[in-house]
Amino acid sequence: MDLSFGDEYESFRAELRRFLEGWPLTGEEAKRSPAEQEQIFRKRGIEHGYVYRDIPSEYGGSGRPHDPIADQIILEEYARTGAPGNKLDQGPGMLAPTLLEFGGEALKKRFIPSTLSGEIQWCQGYSEPGSGSDLASIQTSAVLDGDHWVINGQKIWTSNAVHADFMFGLFRTEPDASKHAGISYLIVDMKASGIDVRPLKQMTGSMEFNEVFFDDVRTPAENIIGKRGEGWAVSRATLKHERNLIGSPRLMGEQFELLVARARSTQRDGRPAIEDPGVRDRIAEIEGYVRAAETTNLRMLSATVHGEELKAMLPMMMIKLYSTDVMQMIAKATYDLVGGGGLLEPAEERDGIYATSGTVSSAVHNYMFSLGPAIAGGASNIQRNIIGERGLGLPRDPRPSS
Ligand SMILES: Cc1cc2nc3c(=O)[nH]c(=O)nc-3n(C[C@H](O)[C@H](O)[C@H](O)COP(=O)(O)OP(=O)(O)OC[C@H]3O[C@@H](n4cnc5c(N)ncnc54)[C@H](O)[C@@H]3O)c2cc1C
């Protein structure tokens, strides 16, 4: 079966590959700070029309016509080279498309360009102690006082809050309304007075998560996305983008390749572990799941290209659940390859998508962290409910009164 995208798109891929040979930067540019180098290359990608294609140029994107196949090729090639410009960050991947859909003109102009260029970093303030899966029960309040909202309460599990310049999040602005109707979607400056960010140490040794406390924090009244009391609908848009990021089959493919590389480089009884029939069996089984996800991805792409979005809906709902399950299998298999010896391996700075500087080796870190994506952006049980109720039309799960 020929799974290539045809001559026209393969020459587009070749042209893109030539462009990506420019990363990493060389010469004088390579002497700039890592953040500046990323900004330079991201800007170059926008100018060439490879990065942020679906975002109009007036907001800092490259404003190209919708082309799902070109998007897919760009995703694959940027991932292969690790060049900066993908959408895996919360700002470009989640906040920018939400602002485009629901934001007023002033907010779009102010925040989208600097988010895409990487000047502004974001964090997502949704979860609270006691409000995770039941997100609509959040209690952190925002009360309008003149031309500012005054915020009090606490968020938790806020990834990247330590480094973020701004938070986009959900706040209760109508305490008397029913729980879904009482929420607004606000932007908050993380340097504002009254914000206290406390990192949470994980079993990996890393500290990606934080608690964020608000004590009379003020944010301008106009920093609202969507209408007052209608933040729930806005949050659904952001979550859709988040789940697509977490569930990307491409991440699964990357992790699988790391597993195979590990099996080649790890010795077992004086031979590469990949020559062990047990290891080969396990890798072959996992590869079946990985290839099935890739094929499903191609089916979704084909449905989108042919304007049959409805056909793509059920697989789209399933892909986050499926891919986070398979990524756990991959991480467990990698960990089993290195075994207890993995605990003695030196800590590594980077290896795969779950990388952060920690106190354990990448195999151990990835295994421990692989449990997380199945929870982030909506836990697996919640995904199963969504698939059952919205995808398959099964009766709704009983819910507490709202
Ligand atoms: C890696 C990672 C990054 C994260 N980053 C952020 C972030 O940046 N910002 C942010 O706001 N939050 C973030 N979170 C938090 C995440 O959104 C919540 O952990 C998630 O929504 C689950 O909420 P909870 O932890 O309160 O678990 P709970 O809601 O208490 O769920 C506990 C268990 O009960 C099950 N359960 C709950 N309700 C139901 C139901 N109705 N039916 C069946 N089973 C149910 C769940 O599936 C789960 O297994 C992150 C989490 C992780 C793991």
- CATH number, domain of 194, equals 2.40.110.10
pLDDT band at 355 (very low <50, low <70, confident <90, very high): very low
Nearest atom (ligand 1) to Cα of 369? 1
Same domain? 147 vs 24: no
- The total number of structural domains in the chain stands at 3
Residue 28 falls inside a structural domain: yes
What is the structure's pLDDT at 203? 82
Token pair for 63: 């404003």
- Please say which residue of 41, 69, 86 terminates a domain: 86
pLDDT band at 347 (very low <50, low <70, confident <90, very high): low
- Please say which residue of 202, 229, 256 terminates a domain: 229
Sign of the dihedral through C-alpha 163, 168, 173, 179? negative
How many whole angstroms from 375 Cα to the centroid of ligand 1?
A: 5
How would you write 121-133 as a 3-class SS string? CEEEECCECCECC
Nearest atom (ligand 1) to Cα of 378? 21
In 3-state terms, what secondary structure has residue 82?
Answer: coil
> Please, which residues bridge with residue 150 across strands?
143, 218
Are residues 67 and 53 in contact, defined by beta-carbon separation less than 8 angstroms? yes
Q: 309-338 and 231-246 are packed helices; what angle lies between their axes, rounded to 10 degrees?
A: 50
Does pLDDT of 351 surpass 50? no
What is the structure's pLDDT at 378? 86
Burial code (b: 16+ CB inside 10 Å, e: under 16) for 356-377 equals eebebbbbbbbbbbbebbbbbb
Annotation says 242 is catalytic: yes
Same domain? 275 vs 373: yes
**Distance set, CA 28 to CA 21, 25, 31, 138, 361 (Å):** 17, 9, 5, 50, 34
pLDDT band at 360 (very low <50, low <70, confident <90, very high): low
Nearest CA to ligand 1 atom 35: 381
**What type of residue sits at position 350?**
R
**Which residue from 90, 127, 186 has its CB within 8 A of the most atoms of ligand 1, so it is best to mutate?**
127
Lowest mean pLDDT across 23-32, 43-52, 366-375:
366-375
Same domain? 215 vs 311: no
How many whole angstroms from 28 Cα to the centroid of ligand 1?
A: 46
Q: Which of 58, 242, 257, 348 is catalytic?
A: 242
How many whole angstroms from 382 Cα to the centroid of ligand 1?
A: 9
Domain that holds residue 378: 247-391
Nearest CA to ligand 1 atom 51: 376
Residue 143 falls inside a structural domain: yes
- Please say which residue of 86, 112, 141 terminates a domain: 86
Residue 293 falls inside a structural domain: yes
Same domain? 203 vs 252: no
Rounded to the nearest 5°, which phi and psi values hold at 234?
-65, -40
How remote is the C-alpha of 152 from its chain's centroid? 27
Same domain? 211 vs 127: yes
Residue 242 falls inside a structural domain: no
Q: Which residues contact 265 (CB under 8 A, 6 or more apart)?
A: 272
Task: Find the mean pLDDT for residues 223-249.
Answer: 85
Strand 183-189 with 122-125, pairing: unpaired
| Lining residues, ligand 1, CB within 6 Å | 123-127, 132-133, 157-159, 372, 375-376, 378-379, 381-382, 385, 397
Same domain? 182 vs 265: no
CA–CA distance, 82 with 322 (Å, rounded to integer) = 24
How many whole angstroms from 130 Cα to the centroid of ligand 1?
A: 10
Does pLDDT of 19 surpass 80? yes
Does pLDDT of 256 surpass 70? yes
Query: Residues 67-112: pLDDT tens digits?
Result: 989 988 998 888 888 888 866 678 988 999 999 999 999 999 999 9
What is the structure's pLDDT at 218? 98
Nearest CA to ligand 1 atom 18: 132
